[in-house]
Chain A
Amino acid sequence: MFGRIISFSASNLKALLPASISRCTRQLHITAPVAVKQIIETRKDKQLIIEGVYMNSPREETLLRHNEDSDACAVCRLNVEIKHTDVLILSQFIRKDGCMLPRRITGLCRLQQRRIGNMVAMANKAGLMTSLLPRARERDPYKRRKEHLKFKVYYDESTIKPPKDPFAPRKLVPKDNWF
């Protein structure tokens, strides 16, 4: 459990760790990750205390704390119409390679997860957050099936309907009589 959670970032910890300890640790990630826990060594006389201290997430300073009392998810609480071109908002829900984060990480409700997921896909296809996608790099140009996607595409988000809220009360529409 402990070994799985910790990650060591060379940039963060070089100054703190002696060389002997950094050599015996496993590098779990190649790209520069943000450390969840920071290893702090303190010496007290003959005792060496190594403790893992939780670090603040990089978003803590700019986090928008809005209506935190309500039970709704973060995006519902915000009550703002997000378009697929609002890249600065959508980029908060993606991994480094451009893929959408799962619901357990984002903490959104099912409805908003689907909407934001659709909009991230649209923004990727429309070329607004594109260069991190791995497939473009991996794809063999002679075997590409989707040749038509190499040119620019834009999406009109008035065409995407928000997914149906399954918990909304059903409206009874009376059948119109044909006679």
Chain B
Amino acid sequence: MVFPGMALLQRAKGPDSFWKKRRLFRLTAHFRGRNRNVWTLVLRNVKRALVRATKGRIERKKDMHDLRVTRITAAVEEHGFTQPLFADGLNRSRVYLDTKVLADLSIWEPRTFKALTHLAWSKTFKDRVEGVDEQGTPPANVAIKDLKDS
């Protein structure tokens, strides 16, 4: 039997539905199993992946900051000082270097970083910040008398 009306029931979605779907399929090359080939699954998983990428951009900034602080802590501990006091000492000396620069210096410019540690130690010692005495005597030959008290 022939049903001529059946063809009219088919929805005409448009000539470029293939290309529209392909926009999303391009993003799923690295997905697992059916998630990369089946349209209905691709729709859900691509959305989740994009949402995660958006949230991850914010998380990445936090993660990078935490990693840099860990590295700075390690470098400061190598010189016998502590990271909170180091940050306090730099702020008091009005050395406003951010964590990115400090972390890079700690890896690539060790002697500069050592000088910064000595500066922070001497300044916190001079200002009698709580907890400096436990670190012992500050290093000698650090010129902080010209620093104006902030």
Are chains A and B touching directly in their complex (CB below 8 angstroms)? Answer: no
Instruction: Name B's A-contacting residues (CB within 8 A).
Output: none
